Amino acid sequence: MKPEFKIIAKLIEKNTRVLDVGCGDGTLMEFLKDDSKIDIRGIEISKNNIQKCIGKGLTVIEGDAEKDLIQFPDRSFDYVILSQTLQAFLNPEKVISELLRVGKKAIVTIPNFGYWKVRLHLLTKGTMPITRTLPDEWYNTPNLHMCSIKDFFNFCDDREINLYKSIALQNLKSSKITNTNLPLKNLTAVLGIFLIEK
Amino acid sequence: MNKDVNIKTLKINKPLKLDCGQIINNFPLAYETYGVLNEKKDNAILIFHALTGDQFVSNVNPLTKKDGWWSYAVGSDKAIDTEKYFVICANVIGGCLGSFGPSNTNPKTNKVFGITFPIITINDMVNAQFNLLDFFKIKKLFAVIGGSMGGMQVLQFVSNFPDKTKIAIPIACASSHSAQNIAFNELGRQSIMADENWLNGNYSNQNKNPNKGLSVARMAAHITYLSKNGLQEKFGRKLQERDHLKFSFDADFQIESYLRYQGAVFVDRFDANSYLYITRAMDYFDLSKQYDGNLSKAFSKTKTKFLIISFTSDWLYPTSENKEIVIALNAIGADVAFAEIESDKGHDSFLLNVPKFLNTLKDYINTSYLKD
Asked whether the beta carbons of residue A54 and residue B364 sit closer than 8 angstroms, the reply is yes
CATH code (residue A81): 3.40.50.150
**Which residue of A18, A51, A72 is the best one to mutate when testing the B interface, meaning the one whose CB has the most B CBs within 10 A?**
A51
Identify the CA nearest to A111 among candidates A91, A89, A85.
A85
C-beta neighbour count of B336 within 10 angstroms: 23
Q: Which CATH class, in words, describes the domain spanning B8-177+284-370?
A: alpha beta
In terms of residue numbers, what domain contains A37?
3-113+147-197
Whether A55 contacts chain B with CB within 8 A: yes
Q: What is the C-alpha to C-alpha distance for residues A160 and A138, in angstroms, rounded to an integer? A: 32
Asked whether the beta carbons of residue A51 and residue B356 sit closer than 8 angstroms, the reply is yes
Asked whether the beta carbons of residue A17 and residue B338 sit closer than 8 angstroms, the reply is no
Q: Note the ipTM here.
A: 0.90
B176 has catalytic annotation: no
Tell me chain A's radius of gyration from C-alpha atoms.
16
Q: Give yes or no for a contact between B172 and B354, defined as CB atoms under 8 angstroms apart.
A: no
In chain A, whose CA is at the least distance from the CA of B330?
A72
The catalytically annotated residue of B148, B215, B227, B343 is B148
Query: Residue B361 to residues A50, B87, B348, B368: CA-CA distances in angstroms?
Result: 12, 15, 16, 11
Q: What is the C-alpha to C-alpha distance for residues B63 and B81, in angstroms, rounded to an integer? A: 23
- 3-state SS, residue A77: strand
B244 has catalytic annotation: no
- Any alpha helices (H) in chain B, and if so which ranges? 122-135, 149-160, 179-193, 211-225, 228-234, 254-269, 272-284, 319-330, 355-370
Q: Which fold has domain B182-278?
A: Rna Polymerase Sigma Factor; Chain: A (1.10.1740)
Asked if residue A161 is part of any domain, the answer here is yes
Asked whether the beta carbons of residue A55 and residue B340 sit closer than 8 angstroms, the reply is no
Nearest to A54 among B331, B342, B363 (CB): B363
Given the DSSP bridges, would you call strands A39-44 and A17-21 parallel, antiparallel or unpaired? parallel
Asked if residue A121 is part of any domain, the answer here is no
How many domains does one find in chain A?
Answer: 1
Q: What is the C-alpha to C-alpha distance for residues B165 and B223, in angstroms, rounded to an integer? A: 34
B314 has catalytic annotation: yes
In chain B, whose CA is at the least distance from the CA of A58?
B337
Asked whether the beta carbons of residue B331 and residue A17 sit closer than 8 angstroms, the reply is no
pLDDT tens for chain A, 198 residues: list them: 788 899 999 999 999 999 999 999 999 999 998 766 899 999 999 999 999 999 999 999 999 999 999 999 999 999 999 998 899 999 999 999 999 999 999 999 999 999 999 999 999 999 999 988 889 999 999 999 999 999 999 999 999 999 999 999 998 899 999 999 999 999 999 999 999 998
Cβ-based neighbours of B269, under 8 Å, separated by 6 or more: B63, B64
The catalytically annotated residue of B177, B347, B348, B349 is B347
Residue B262 DSSP one-character state:
H
Asked if residue A27 is part of any domain, the answer here is yes
Q: Indicate the helix (H) or strand (E) that contains B341.
A: strand B336-341
What amino acid is encoded at A173 in this protein?
K
Q: Give yes or no for a contact between A140 and A88, defined as CB atoms under 8 angstroms apart.
A: no
Domain residues of chain B, as ranges?
8-177+284-370, 182-278
Q: Give yes or no for a contact between B48 and B145, defined as CB atoms under 8 angstroms apart.
A: yes
Asked whether the beta carbons of residue A71 and residue B339 sit closer than 8 angstroms, the reply is no
Nearest to A61 among B338, B359, B363 (CB): B338
Nearest to A57 among B326, B331, B368 (CB): B368
Asked if residue A131 is part of any domain, the answer here is no
Q: How far is B368 from chain A (nearest CA, A)?
A: 6
Q: What is the C-alpha to C-alpha distance for residues B208 and B80, in angstroms, rounded to an integer? A: 40
Q: What is the C-alpha to C-alpha distance for residues A101 and A95, in angstroms, rounded to an integer? A: 10
In chain B, whose CA is at the least distance from the CA of A68?
B327
Asked if residue A140 is part of any domain, the answer here is no
**Which residue of B338, B359, B361, B365 is the best one to mutate when testing the A interface, meaning the one whose CB has the most A CBs within 10 A?**
B338
- E-strand stretches of B27-134: 27-34, 44-48, 74-75, 80-81, 86-90, 105-106, 111-112
**What angle do the packed helices A3-11 and A27-36 form, to 10 degrees?**
40
Question: Cα B15–B17–B21 angle (5° rounding)?
Answer: 140
In this prediction the pTM is 0.94
**Would you state the pLDDT for residue A37?**
80
Which portions of chain B are predicted below pLDDT 50?
A: 1
Asked if residue A84 is part of any domain, the answer here is yes
